[in-house]
Amino acid sequence: MMQINIEAEKILVANKAVDFRQGLNGLCALVVSELQENPVEGIYVFYNRRKNRIKVIGWHNNGFVLLYKRLEAGKFWIKEEADKIKLDSKQLNWLIMGADWKLLSGGEIPQFTDFV
């Protein structure tokens, strides 16, 4: 099993679904226009309308990293909000796992099989 652990001081989730045909340049433009943030100063999470796919972008040393995840079953626990959603590193990692990150607080990251 692959283990991913992403950490940053600023982690934001877009407040609405985006067109997933967009690549890094388009997502960086959304960070500036929709989130009013600097793309190199945090990690930004975008999701599609069905909420079964996410794209996570962030600056790493000398270039952008794009993480794309598609759930084979179920949906990511994201609710459209009036404003951007702020996460901490644990919540982001739970989100990437497909877990309900709003209900989890502290402790170890549970195994994905705990949520199936």
Instruction: Give per-residue pLDDT as tens, 29-61.
Output: 999 999 999 999 999 999 999 999 999 999 999
What per-residue confidence (pLDDT) applies to 67?
95
In-domain check, residue 114 = no
In-domain check, residue 26 = yes
In-domain check, residue 79 = yes
pLDDT confidence tier of residue 114, bands split at 50, 70 and 90: very low
Mean pLDDT of 65-72: 95
In-domain check, residue 111 = no
pLDDT digits (tens, 9 = 90+) for 69-101: 999 999 998 888 778 889 999 899 888 988 887
Characterize the bridge pairing of strands 43-47 and 11-13: parallel
Q: What does the alpha-carbon distance between residue 29 and residue 36 come to, in Å, rounded to a whole number?
A: 10
Strand order in the sheet with 85-87: 63-70, 53-60, 43-47, 11-13, 85-87
In-domain check, residue 36 = yes
For the chain, how many structural domains are there in total? 1
User: Which residues span the domain enclosing 61?
Assistant: 11-89
For residue 91, the SS3 value is: helix
In-domain check, residue 99 = no
What per-residue confidence (pLDDT) applies to 84?
85
